Structure 1
Amino acid sequence: MPLMPRHLPSFPGLLITGFILVVLPLLGGIIGMTYALEQMALEGRRSVTISAQITGASRQLSEAETALKRAAGQYFVLEDPSLKERLDRAHLRFTEVLDHLESLPWSLELAQQVVDLSRQEQRLYQQLANAPASGSYDTYKLEFDRLDLATELLSEATTDYIRDHLVTGMNDTASEIQSAMIYLAAGMILLSLLLAAIFAWLLSRPVRKLSANIRRLGQNDLESPINIHGPRDLELLGQQLEWLRCRLLELEEKKLNFFREVSHELKTPLTNMLEAVSLLRDEVTGPLTTQQSEVVEIMRGSAFNLRQRIEDLLRYNEAIAQASLEPDWFELQPLIDEIKSRFDLTLRSQQLRWESQLEPVQLKADRNRLSVALENLISNAIRFSPKGGVLGIDASCDGETLRISVRDQGPGIAESQTELLFQPFYKGTRQPQGTLKGSGLGLAIAKTHIEQLGGTLSLKPSAEPGAHFEISLPNNKETPPRG
């Protein structure tokens, strides 16, 4: 048998590959979240650093402004020219702090305040530097008050900037990163679930197909070839099942040929034996004693029973081998009446009451196949019915389905035997008393014919005693021809 192309690795390999591919999006999401958290941490550290620098610079500016004011006061109060160097150092410190503030990432408004404060301090320092030591501090008090106010306003502005821009910006950044992380996590989870679903489908599809093929083999459906695509080991298992199907098909053909040949080989000598027994029974060869007559009757009954079983084998072989259908329009009521007429003597001998409720149905199907199926079901019902019981047959149309039921009042069928009921040669344990056992082919023949008609034959549960078989056939919606 040629090997099928192998497109996929083995089942364990495909399972490992699927696991890795499912984990990769989650791993990518973790890496993305880690990067986002790191960015958030960097943004937090930057904001804290800038806030610390601004706070420190604001404090240093206040100290430098205080030092400048103190140096100017001492310079004018003590009238000591040597104190002018302290004034210069205070001015230089104030300028350095302003230069540092200018280098920070300010808003335009704050940057302009720093520039204005620098110009204001520069003008005041020029006035102080050019003033004689004998001058009065009160002359510059108003300017120092303005410088104090400007410094205080700048300090308040820096505090507002830290609160409104840095802290709020850090919170906004954290919210954006949090939202991005949520979307990233949701996307990665959905992608992982999608990949998991794809690989679950890839893994389960050949398994389901194997299961369906095994079920078909168990139901004796040997016609459909088995072709499994998927992991290498499952493809190999499918090839082995295909080999098994071909082997079973070959054995089935041999079995049918054997039954056919044996049945025909037995039928000819059996016919001769029946004729000989009939001659003895009719006393053609001479009168018989009572004991001899009893022996002849036993031989005659056994011969008829054997002929019946051989005919069942032949009908079963014909039911399986006959593939073509001969559908035609016919009415159901005449067919049922025709079948009933074949069992009139048996119905009378067992005192069975025939009950039927048949809707006027005209259907298109193979009449001979349906006739054989119904005949086997009715024969089975008569055989199991108690003397004086009721045998019922009903027919009704349910939408596009025609349902025909056959019911009896016999011992019924054990629930544990329902799965084996339609198997060839199967005989239930609840056999009627005083009758010969059947061949076990009647229900198998009926089921085969009904399935070839496109319908189903099943055993229906019933609250009443006995067995209830139901035939379901597709009801052709075509208009039957007139005439």
Structure 2
Amino acid sequence: MVDLKRMRVEKLFSLKYLIPIGFVVVLVPLLFTVMYAAFAMRDIARLEQRTFYQIVEQVKTARSALQMVSDIERKAKLFVILSHPSLRQPYERQSYESVRNALRETLGELLKMGVDEKVARSINELSEQERAVYEQIISAEADAHLKLPDEQIFQGLHTAANALWVEISDQVDREAKELHQQSQSVQHDLMIKAGFLLPISIAVVLFLLTLLTRSVRQLDESIRRLTARDFGQPISVAGPQDLRYLGDQLELLRTRLRSLEESKRHLMDNVSTEIKTPLARIVESAEQLETMRHEAGPEQREIGRTLTTNIQRLQELLAELTRYNRLHEEPGKTIAERVDMRELLTSVIEDHRPRLQAKFLVVKELIQPVTVAGDRDQLRTVLDHLISNAVSYSPEGGEIRIMLRSVGDNMELEVEDDGPGIDEEESKHVFEPFYRGKAAFALGTEGTGMGLAIASECVANQRGKIEVLEPRQDKHGARIRVQFPLVEAA
């Protein structure tokens, strides 16, 4: 049961589930924030619209009430004047009552609009002032000699009306401020939620990136070690289940390659050992023939020279095989050091100076100061075989072009000659052991076919890259490029 739960957890902790889960974890807070902002803005917009209409209705109703106050004063005065027996006009009372009722209805509507306490008090005060005017006029209606009410009572009516307008204006300002504060509150709340959720999203993204980056970096380092034939260190990849599975497959590949490498090395050691003994006997026989060359005839001497030449070739081949086999030792056993490639290249060119002069070859150098980290002897071997190969295949009076420079994080070395070149099909095999191209047989160039193979092994041991490039537009010879990582600045 416990193993089943653990397997389920590990299954969730895989790229198939981890990436969608991370996407959801990152997306949900952002989506929540956006939705919250959308709903909050919708509510604010509705509130603004409702408040705007309410304010407009309140102002319009208040203005109408103010206008009716003036009409009441005018109608009241006309009613008093025209109520004199000599001028009595019955409809004036109806007109006055109509305006008065309209004012009271307007004030009632204003109270229903949700006004605050101050506005309500002002409305009530205005109603009381209007009632006072009405009572003073009606109480004196039976008197044959009606007189106009005091101006003071109309002044109180206008004062109450103006106070109502002031309170309405203040309420509008307060509602506008409250709406602004509410908008700021929503904005502040949105900022708080975004400030809380955004770090969570960023933390999740950083966690996933760190997890994946670490695993990918481990895979990259493992592949680089396999490329450099460093099979000694076990491969272990931490992280999601998928990447750990790839790490396990690389570990199986490392074990298999190490076993094959050891088998090949043992085979080469055995072959070298088995060849050395009969070869030593042949050398002894050749030496005996050499001591008897004065007694031998021309045919015997020719046989002796042929035998000596072939023995030398076998000895050279055996030495190359032994050297090639030793290059497959664990790269960790070699000591890396800072190597000045310009100085090393100049030294190798000087070592080949006699051969260059013998064939009247011109060396064009474009060499920059470059420093790499690696095994000096193996780096020298690479340079030696590349230049030796260029000298061997260059025609007399030809030209060898050597370029050393830094490009990005790598050192680049190019060696190009004026020989017959390497066609596309041969470029796939020139770094294989014992391979000799068409040009070697056409020109009768002697060699074991191990030079470029040894150079390729040395390059791989230094975690570099070697390849055959197409010749330049106006050239036709072989062009080989080597790349090594530069030493990082301290």
- Report the TM range for the smaller structure's normalisation: 0.5 to 0.7
Structure 1 285/417 Cα, relative in aligned 2: closer, same or farther at 3 Å? same
- Structure 2 SS opposite 1:226: coil
Percent identity reads 26
Correspondence for 1:35 among 30, 33, 39: 39
Q: Is the 8 A contact 2:66 2:161 kept in 1?
A: no
AA aligned to 1:38 is D
Moved more, 50-59 or 25-34: 50-59
What residue number does 1:247 align with?
256
What residue number does 2:49 align with?
44
Give the alignment of 1:7-26 within 5 angstroms.
Answer: 9-26=13-30
Could you list the runs of 5+ residues in structure 1 that have no partner in the other structure? 478-483
AA aligned to 1:244 is L
CA drift of 1:375 comes to 4.5
CA drift of 1:415 comes to 6.6
Structure-2 separation of matches of 1:100 and 1:329: 97
Moved more, 224-233 or 185-194: 185-194
Correspondence for 1:256 among 243, 252, 265: 265
Give the alignment of 1:143-154 within 5 angstroms.
Answer: 146=155, 149=158, 153=162
What residue number does 1:267 align with?
276
Q: Is the 8 A contact 1:335 1:371 kept in 2?
A: no
Correspondence for 1:443 among 452, 458, 463: 452
For residues 331-380 of structure 1, what are the alpha-carbon distances to aligned partners after superposition, in whole Å with 9 as ceiling and x for unaligned? Answer: 97996599459xx5x778x6454769899x9x999776566555434443
CA drift of 1:51 comes to 4.3
Could you list the runs of 5+ residues in structure 2 that have no partner in the other structure? 1-5
What residue number does 1:121 align with?
130
Structure-2 separation of matches of 1:196 and 1:366: 41
CA drift of 1:230 comes to 2.0
Structure-2 separation of matches of 1:11 and 1:225: 24
AA aligned to 1:306 is L
Moved more, 369-378 or 265-274: 369-378
AA aligned to 1:259 is M
CA drift of 1:138 comes to 4.9
Q: Is the 8 A contact 1:68 1:90 kept in 2?
A: no
- Structure 2 SS opposite 1:140: coil
AA aligned to 1:128 is I
- Structure 1 SS opposite 2:327: helix
Q: Is the 8 A contact 1:405 1:471 kept in 2?
A: no
Give the alignment of 1:386-401 within 5 angstroms.
Answer: 386-387=395-396, 389=398
CA drift of 1:232 comes to 0.8
CA drift of 1:267 comes to 1.9
Correspondence for 2:325 among 317, 323, 327: 317
CA drift of 1:124 comes to 2.0
CA drift of 1:289 comes to 6.6
Q: Is the 8 A contact 2:15 2:240 kept in 1?
A: yes
Q: Is the 8 A contact 1:43 1:170 kept in 2?
A: no
Aligned residues: 462
CA drift of 1:150 comes to 5.2
CA drift of 1:14 comes to 0.5
C-alpha RMSD of the superposition: 5.9
CA drift of 1:41 comes to 1.1
Say if 2:389 is the partner of 1:380.
Answer: yes
CA drift of 1:265 comes to 1.1
